[in-house]
Amino acid sequence: MPKDKERKRLDQWKFVDTTPDHYKSMSWCIQNDIKIYPKKTKEGFKLICVRNGQAFQSGISYNDIEMHQKIWDFYAYLHKKYNKCIKR
């Protein structure tokens, strides 16, 4: 990978603000079969959430920098929403 592209890729992570709660939320979601990943579209990236084998797509497109933060925030949102409903 050329140095410029690698630097740009590393610089994107400077904009991701994670906390220990984000990691806890992500871990909980993965243990409960909830996964989130980005899907490239013409407008940017949409988030795909897979829960119990069913995939749901976000209605909002994000750019390549916003996408990373939104994934972390979405894991935190889902953990907060479903934590009391799902016990594993």
pLDDT digits (tens, 9 = 90+) for 36-82: 999 999 999 999 999 989 999 999 999 988 999 999 999 999 999 98
Q: Could you tell me the pTM of the whole model? A: 0.78
User: Is domain 15-82 given the CATH code 3.30.160 in the classification?
Assistant: yes
**Which residue type occupies 75?**
Y
pLDDT at 5: 59
Cα angle 52, 81, 45; round to 5:
65
pLDDT at 2: 61
Quick check: 9 pLDDT over 60? no
pLDDT at 52: 87
Sequence spans of domains, the chain: 15-82
Residue with tokens 């949409």: 46
Which pair of tokens denotes residue 56?
């749901």
Query: What is the b/e burial string over 79-88, where b = at least 16 CB atoms within 10 angstroms of the residue's CB?
Result: beeeeeebee
Cβ 25 vs Cβ 5: under 8 Å = no
pLDDT at 86: 64
